[in-house]
Amino acid sequence: MSLKYDTNSVQYLSDSAILKDIEIFDSVDTTFSFTTNSFEVSKINIDLLQVSQTIFTIQANQINITNLNITNTKYLLSQLDANLINIISFINSQIENINSNNNQIQFLSMNQQTSEGIAFVSNAKFMNSSILSNNPLIFLNQLSNVELNNVLIKDVISINSQYTSIFTIQDCYLVTISYSHFTNNTNSNGPGGVIYAFESIQIIIQNSIFWLNTCNLQNGGAIYMINTVRRGILLINQTQLIENKSSYSLGGSIYLQNNNLIMQNSVIASNQAQIGGGIYYVQVMPDFLIDLQYGNKNNNTFKDNLAYIYGQNFGSTLRKVFIDLENIKIPKNSLKLYEDKAIFIKQLKSGDQINFEQIQLLDEENNPIRFIDVNSTDFQLLSNDAQSLVQQISVSVQWNEENKEIQCIGQLQTKQFRNGGFNLDAQIFYKPNSELVLKIVSNSFPSLTDSNGNIVVNQGQIELIFNIELEQCSIGQIFKQYGNSIACESCPDGKYSLSLIDQECKQCPDSAVQCIGSNIQLKDGYWRENENTDNIIYCSFNPQSCQPQLSSSKFYCTEGHIGPLCYQCDTYGDIWGSRYSEIYNHGDCYKCEENIHKIILYNLLVYLLISLYIFLILKRIILQLEVKVKGYYLNKLEIIYLGSTLNQSDRSQIISKILTDHFQILSLVCSFTTKMPEFFTIPIQLSGNSVSMVSKSIECAFSKHPNLKPLWLFEFLWSFSLSAGIFIFYFLKGIAFKRLKIDLYIRYLLTAAIFIYFYFYPMIITQAIRSINCIMIGDKKYLDLDFGIQCYDKNQHQPYLFLFTLPVIFIWGFLIPLFLFYKIYAANLKKKSIIKQIKYSFLFAGYKKQYYYWEFWKLFYKTILILISVLLKQNIQLKVFLIQFQNNIFNEIFKFLSTNQRIFYFLISY
């Protein structure tokens, strides 16, 4: 039968009906209506049909449709539903060998399967079609058992419908899809790129492929399954869902709401969505995901799925709040660490601020969300579901607000996503030495249950707990009442505090450049023991070594300097990493490794110059004494009378004593006056106090051996080497000359020893007194010889006072002078021979006979002068007063002296 006319209507009522070998083409609204018990259609070809209503309306118990070919149908806009086959009710239906190509209408609508039966669709192809009506390509409604086998839906576009998809399943009990392909289909406005299932109990998909399907505006790039009344099940086995897209919404391949998903042996790959690149689910966590959490993959593969906001493979509610410790900005002295899934922030102060940067909300795969600006054009393109989820996302700071003592201010809540996360800041006020709990919480999320109704994810906010430990206010802060809280307020610029009991901050002292908190930045030339004291001291000994403003300085000292007032060299390299020592002037430090040749040369030069100086004086004295002896015997033999000429022979001894005393006095002056030029001090120290020069310069040698401690003791011992070396050299010289039959020098060995002793007497006494003397620096006393040692230290000072220093003072300053005094007293009293007298004549040369003891009085005078200069080193005014007072006393004795001695005392008074 062939029909070709504008309007055709065939209605058939019978117990059975058969349509076979029919061609319908180039017609308008040709319709068939059948109400029968059994209906069979085969070999029907339809082409170029224009349709505004249903072509085949069928109501039958048994339906069999085979070999149906429909092409090039066009939809005529109308208010009626237009589809090819509308099955109103049935028991069993079998549709096979269908070919649909380039059509604009719904192909099949199956409704009301009245009793136990089956609807079977196989070997069907639907291609290259654009559905213009509001109906889907295939609509299954209220069916109990449907099987689709070897179905191909390809290049089909649903254009207008907002409520259905290309293949819509509604209120069905069981739908099974096998060996089917769904390729490159697009749902422009509705849910699900290919399949939309609503209120259906069980859908089984097996051995099928969903590829390149797209849902433009709603959820589910391939499949959208939603139940509101009953929980459904989607079973997927041996199926691939690849490169499907939900471009502006949720679920790149599958969207589930109140449905369980059991999946095995399947692949979900390279799908895309805004949220849930592979699968997005609501209300029920699918069984396959619960299995996956326990390590059972069920032979499924998930890879290369992409979610632009969150949920690369699986999307649902967000699960965690996370922040990297590096992005928690706290004061530098505070600590932060993870413990037991919480973050501990310790050593924080009440009133301190915490900045939380790049706070992350993590999905179930522990990936952070990637946000989109809600004010951007891209955001406006998202589906309502996607927009709603994004707009709800927020983070905020929470605490126990019932405790009124706890207060937080700052940016405590935000929805703004910037630079890869959310930013919050909270200034915390409570009270010192207390603890509190701070939380960063998200917006509230719905709960998730498993397939048995057990809650697996609780409803509510996700949170990250911070245990905050507030400690006592630190140095540089004062207590301040802030409402019901107590804050630690840092001292501002220009003020400081170094004590916890300070009620207010102190003004910055004049010796500082800047003050803030507990930090006092000193001016150059000033020093303090540590950062916990405001006892700031001027570096009077050597201001240039105190350079706290210099970036390269350490502990306020320039390179090589350490200790109180930066007046000590880093002998052992503890601070600067290299050993340093004095060489020329006190207070100037030189690197040992770079100056070892200078040190050796310097010491040799000092030894040589002092030796030459002493030997020249001794030679002149000895020659004059030899002349005096010869003159004495000439007078005795009355060969010639020399008279006063013999007295003039003492002039060398007198001049040498005057010159030596003068240099020694000047060296004492240099020791307590302000810093003088080296060209002036070095010659004076060389001649007047050479011991102090060699004792310090040898530090580099001793510091190589850390066991040689205390260093000041070995330096003191080394100071004896100069006097002992000169005496030994003189003795060896005398022995050598005696072998040459010249006994001049060996005969005057005692005279040489006395001269050397008197020459080095003030130097050794000075060293000895300095080893007792303490220098007050701040509130501590330090050893004069070594500022690195506190006075009377039980290990490095006190023991050696009794074992070494006091015996040296007793022997050198008392016993030897007493012995010499006894010798000249005995020589004077017993009228010893002229030879004996001449050997001791250095002691009384130039004095009247009754004042033969005056040289010892000078020793006492020098000792007093040394005591004043050393013990009162830090009190210049008192020192000058005592020296002047001492001079007044000696002026009373001045009139009893010889002319030569008056010249001497004039010089030392100067």
Question: Kindly report the CA angle at 525 between 519 and 527, in degrees rounded to 5?
Answer: 45
Is the domain 320-470 a CATH 1.25.10 member?
A: no
Token pair belonging to 252: 């790149």
The distance of Cα 581 from the centroid of its chain, to the nearest Å, equals 37
Residue bearing tokens 């809280």:
485
Q: Domain ranges in the chain?
A: 2-315, 320-470, 591-909
For residue 495, what are the contacts with CB-CB under 8 A and spacing of at least 6? 505, 506, 507, 508, 515, 516
Distance CA 220, CA 238 (A): 20
**Identity (one letter) of the amino acid at 809?**
I
The distance of Cα 450 from the centroid of its chain, to the nearest Å, equals 44
pLDDT at res. 701: 80
Bridge partners (DSSP) of residue 24 are 3, 46
Q: 3-state DSSP call for residue 252?
A: coil
pLDDT at res. 642: 47
Distance CA 775, CA 879 (A): 15
Contact between 221 and 190 under an 8 Å Cβ cutoff? The reply is: no
**Identity (one letter) of the amino acid at 718?**
W
Token pair belonging to 287: 């069984």
Closest CA to 863 of 668, 666, 614: 668
* pLDDT, tens digit, 9 for 90 and up, residues 767-797: 888 888 888 888 888 988 888 888 988 988 8
Q: Given the DSSP bridges, would you call strands 455-457 and 413-414 parallel, antiparallel or unpaired? A: unpaired
**Identity (one letter) of the amino acid at 559?**
E
pLDDT at res. 737: 79
Q: Which residues of the chain have pLDDT under 50?
A: 1-7, 641-642, 644-649, 674, 886, 890, 893-910
Token pair belonging to 557: 């000292």
Q: How many beta carbons lie within 10 A of that of residue 791, not counting itself? A: 16
Closest CA to 57 of 101, 128, 110: 110
The distance of Cα 4 from the centroid of its chain, to the nearest Å, equals 87
Distance CA 617, CA 751 (A): 12
Q: 3-state DSSP call for residue 30?
A: strand
Over its C-alpha atoms, the chain yields an Rg (Å, rounded) of 55
Burial (CB < 10 A; 0-12, 13-18, 19+), residue 142, is: middle
Closest CA to 857 of 802, 782, 908, 789: 908
pLDDT at res. 896: 45
Q: Which CA distances in Å does 628 have to 92, 621, 633, 839?
A: 158, 10, 9, 11
Distance CA 672, CA 694 (A): 19
**Identity (one letter) of the amino acid at 426?**
A
pLDDT at res. 679: 54
First to last CA, the chain: 151
Q: What is the DSSP string of 793-860?
A: -TTTTHHHIIIIIHHHHHIIIIIHHHHHHHHHHHHHHTT--HHHHHHTHHHHTTS-GGGTTHHHHHHH
**Identity (one letter) of the amino acid at 105?**
I
Within a 13 Å sphere around the CA of 189, how many CA atoms are in the beta-carbon half? Answer: 13
pLDDT at res. 705: 82
